Chains A and B, each alone.
Chain A
């Protein structure tokens, strides 16, 4: 019987397999940031161990770095301690670090692909749940906890039980103006937040193949939001074109050998998935969340649902609680929901293509007088590229704020937070209670919806904007 893509990648990394025990998996790339690594390094120190493969390890600062005044000392003492600890640990253990102020600094999941370190067929881990982003390249990539970070540092391996496999096949093409973000939000609303539990998911079908690498990363990024262990997409010409020429991509004969191998990383025709979901992209529309988990979403053209709309008692209770927290009334058209802050950024939608798309919509328009637009590039490289293209000027002229690179308002560990009761339209991936600041209310949206919402001040799509 044939094998699926994820089984092929898995099998290539098994160091040791014993019946009744988890497989010992080799890890090709270990990404590190300041929040989940300090105790892992301290654990190494306490037991007199070292980093086995510092040449397969990369660290960057992202979660709590400020996006303004980044040349000054970090004001918050806990953030500063974490960042300084990472710097000391990187120095002591010989790990390559891109600190604040470095040209390669940025969100860990933006930096890996951008450097060309993220490649097909790899195993990639990081102490961060959105590591699944790297699956867009046909890699098995997943988030781990701090004791696992220590395990990978010491051994470059991780004991792992093989997850079950699922295919998500998205047939047809996305209509114009509908993005990868709408696709994945539609999927999560369909499956619920636990639908992918225990699975490695392969996204496939025409709509997936037609996505850019940025779009594929957006889809894989949110795999964890419906519970999947990891999500991946078979590498193809789009993948190879994206990687070629990047600083850490293979060169010359190595490139040819790599591409030859990567091209073999496809699910066999006779392979069987444990589970399969089929969706039709051509019926998808801009999609937004109304609740407090990423599965509580509806098309932008719909209204806020009523708890009565749900069959399951638990869903009704969850909806009721979410509506209270979000201060929304059932039956209100989503388009009438007024937004205070629009956040464009994060590892879901903070890459150059995202900023270009946002700028295209904002260009020549003015941000609504009662709305704040915050644009945070995913990395310093993205920021510099955008500035070279004049995108920063477009945002600033429209009345938006242009910031330095980092996670920023995605999780509000740095000073970029919502005030209690404030409402955001956010291109990030989590709308949990308080995620963007205590009492803050988050609507997850795509880039076009974020940009149009900034202009109109209520949840909107570019089609709602007056022509200019």
Chain B
């Protein structure tokens, strides 16, 4: 998992609340046997609509999603996180996230920045007025920035210390455990020789 310190990318205003994991990626897209390629199922029900925001050329290459409250509710499928990442999103900004989705995101390296509802409103307005505007999300200082001049937005976001540390270090669960490789090796050296193996060298 790549370390995350700060990210600047095109923001997309998703003016919807209660976007559940079924809307992020419908069940029919889950039959795949890989962890990539889920981008084509992202928001599949809405992508057919030409006026859907992700179909607007002005937001091409977007990597920061700005959504309404209660993002990621519903079934706990990890595919929802993969679909967002596969599409290219590095950050989701919302006033409120579903717990399991937020947990899954942190583990997979997708930053979920929780901001005040007013900030989301201002970001939406800005991104709709000036499509293609970049949003900067600085994990070290926990701030979101966008725009210039008098309308510039700068505010703080919430993220728990543990997840922030993991993202800054680029550590997934496995990476953290592999950090204890010496302990694992020491344990293995002490295992009784009669413990079964499935194949011999």
Residue of B nearest to A78 (CB): B31
Tell yes or no: A15 within 8 A of B by CB.
yes
Question: Bound state CA distance, A250 and B200, in angstroms?
Answer: 14
Question: Which residues between 88 and 135 of chain B lie within 8 Å of chain A, taking CB atoms?
Answer: 107
Cβ of B35 and Cβ of A42 under 8 Å apart? yes
Q: How far is the CB of B25 from chain A (nearest CB, A)?
A: 14
- Which candidate, B5-13, B16-24, B143-151, B191-199, is the interface stretch facing chain A? B191-199
- Which candidate, B47-55, B63-71, B153-161, B176-184, is the interface stretch facing chain A? B176-184
Question: Bound state CA distance, A459 and B193, in angstroms?
Answer: 50
Residue of A nearest to B178 (CB): A155
Cβ of B199 and Cβ of A82 under 8 Å apart? no
Select which of B33, B173, B187, B201 is within 8 A of A55 by beta carbon.
Answer: B201
Question: Bound state CA distance, A258 and B192, in angstroms?
Answer: 9
Majority-rule SS of B interface residues: loop
Tell yes or no: A248 within 8 A of B by CB.
yes
Question: Bound state CA distance, A371 and B199, in angstroms?
Answer: 45
Tell yes or no: A204 within 8 A of B by CB.
no
Tell yes or no: A96 within 8 A of B by CB.
yes
Mark A122-163 against chain B: 1 for CB-CB distance below 8 A, else 0. Answer: 100000000000000000000000110011001111010000
Mark A45-56 against chain B: 1 for CB-CB distance below 8 A, else 0. Answer: 011010010111
Select which of B36, B177, B187, B198 is within 8 A of A46 by beta carbon.
Answer: B36
Mark B159-186 against chain A: 1 for CB-CB distance below 8 A, else 0. Answer: 0000000000000111001101001100
Select which of B35, B172, B184, B198 is within 8 A of A58 by beta carbon.
Answer: B198
Cβ of A56 and Cβ of B180 under 8 Å apart? no
Q: How far is the CB of B149 from chain A (nearest CB, A)?
A: 41
Tell yes or no: B141 within 8 A of A by CB.
no
Select which of B1, B184, B192, B198 is within 8 A of A261 by beta carbon.
Answer: B192
Cβ of B34 and Cβ of A38 under 8 Å apart? yes
Cβ of A147 and Cβ of B78 under 8 Å apart? yes
Q: How far is the CB of B85 from chain A (nearest CB, A)?
A: 11
Question: Bound state CA distance, A46 and B198, in angstroms?
Answer: 26
Beyond the given A24-B183, A47-B172, could you list 12 further A-B residue pairs with CB under 8 A, ordered by the A residue number? A16-B183, A26-B184, A26-B187, A42-B34, A42-B35, A42-B36, A55-B197, A55-B200, A154-B177, A248-B198, A254-B193, A257-B192
Residues of chain B whose beta carbon lies under 8 Å from any beta carbon of chain A: 1, 31, 33-36, 78, 107, 172-174, 177-178, 180, 183-184, 187-188, 191-201
